[in-house]
Homo-oligomer: A and B are copies of this chain.
Amino acid sequence: MRPMDDQEARRVLRQIFDAAVASAAPGPAVLRNLPDKPKGRCIVVGAGKASAAMAAALDEAWSDVDVSGVVVTRYGHAVPAGRIEILQASHPVPDEMSATAARRILSAVQGLRPDDLVIALISGGGSALLALPAGDMTLADKQAVNRALLASGATITEMNAVRKHLSSIKGGRLAAPAAPAGVVTLVISDVPGDDPAAIASGPTVPDPSTIEEVREIVARYRLELPEAAKRVLEQGFETPKPGAFKTDVRLIAAPSLALAAAAEAARTAGFTPLILGDAIEGESRELGTIMAGIAKSVQLNGHPIPSPAVLLSGGETTVTIGQGPAGRGGRNTEFLLGFAIAMAGQSGIWAVAGDSDGIDGTEDAAGALVGPDTLVRARAAGCDPRHHLVAHDSDSLVDATGDLIRTGPTLTNVNDIRAILIT
């Protein structure tokens, strides 16, 4: 492969990042995955940060269908959706609007006919936005259950089994009353593994876990539950099991799909893509150092793949703030600064990282790009790279070098996208 100049490498990486984010755009993802139009009515329900944007696309595309419905999104994430009503509720801690939304959505799917179709639009955050505790549990009871679960050492699967059995809408309970109408669920995933039963606690997905298992989990971890929750479990409020209703769940956007789109863009640009994982966790700056080691190995030894190559990864890393004031830094720019310092100006390697929701940390930037000359340009701009890393002030450095990426909020979320280009 001919040597790449800096501009060209950055252009390719930006194309890769943009392709990943575009794959998760709610409207186009809905349009790519619509089922056949129903003869009868179409009832649209849903919950999540992207649900309003998803609903708007559906309303516009199916202007010739009898569409109605109601979806709930996070405060600030509402966009007009024509015939579909948009409610807003609190995230990540649910408020009373979550219960109101859940009741409205449950009543919207009652009394349907075989020719009708329910479309459920589910995305990240949907669990908090659709909170309808079972029996006479209050929101405070539900939160007490969550705290007990988080402190218990139970696995995420066990926690979800308990939560679904204490909810009037999760674990398939939204889909069951829609019969005899069909239910199609369009899912934007932000959880590792993309299990539709896990995203927003699967309101339209049958639940294989049983009330007996939940009682066993409560006993094993000695969970201290509120009285109202105990009564729900005593009464045996079982979730719909697989086979109870027909379900058609379509994953329309996800970290894994975003990385696949990024891989396709890399291939088109002449690079061999390698996806390392869609749910990589760990300290951002350390991931930078470690990815630098892998990138150098590609360039030097052809492991894990020969160059020209693009290493791709997703998931959310962590920035641990120690003592002392922290500067302007998102987890993606801190990853990139750690990466650039570890690369020490080595030629032929560039990297991009950003949050697919367009907001890396608190600043109005999605992420940034770095290359072999980043440290030199930072020093020329008066920045000491190590100082910026120690002070968690990575945004200021890539702002000074002009390398921030600003997309604005994208109203979707498939976590972070990182790509390293090696010539």
Contact = CB atoms under 8 A, between A and B. Distances in A.
How many protomers of this protein does the assembly include? Answer: 2
B256 A277 contact: no
A328 to B, nearest CB: 23
A217 interface: no
A275 interface: yes
A24 B163 CA distance: 53
A193 B277 CA distance: 26
A282 B296 CA distance: 14
B278 A303 contact: yes
Interface in A191-238: 192-193
Contacts of A280: 290, 293-294, 297
Main SS class of interface, A: mixed
Contacts of A274: 303-304
A72 to B, nearest CB: 30
A287 interface: yes
Contacts of A281: 289-290, 292-293, 342
A279 interface: yes
Contacts of A282: 286-287, 289-290, 293
Interface in A290-307: 290, 292-294, 296-298, 300-301, 303-304
Interface string A380-423: 00000000000000000000000000000000000000000000
A345 B153 CA distance: 12
Interface string A302-334: 011000000000010000000000000000000
A344 interface: yes
A286 B282 CA distance: 6
A276 interface: yes
Given A286-B286, A344-B155, A279 B304 contact: no
Nearest to A305: B304
A60 interface: no
Contact of A276 (B193, B279, B297): B297
A72 B278 CA distance: 49
Interface in A359-381: none
A276 B300 CA distance: 12
A344 B281 CA distance: 13
A192 B301 CA distance: 10
Interface string A240-277: 00000000000000001001000000000000001111
A136 interface: no
Given A155-B345, A304-B274, A315 B287 contact: no
Nearest to A338: B282
Nearest to A293: B280
A283 interface: yes
Contacts of A344: 155
Nearest to A263: B303
Contact of A303 (B276, B283, B296, B342): B276
A304 B286 contact: no
A179 to B, nearest CB: 32
9 contacts: A155-B345, A192-B300, A277-B298, A278-B301, A280-B293, A280-B294, A280-B297, A282-B290, A287-B290
Given A278-B301, A280-B297, A283-B283, 7 more contacts: A193-B300, A275-B304, A276-B294, A277-B294, A282-B289, A283-B289, A290-B290
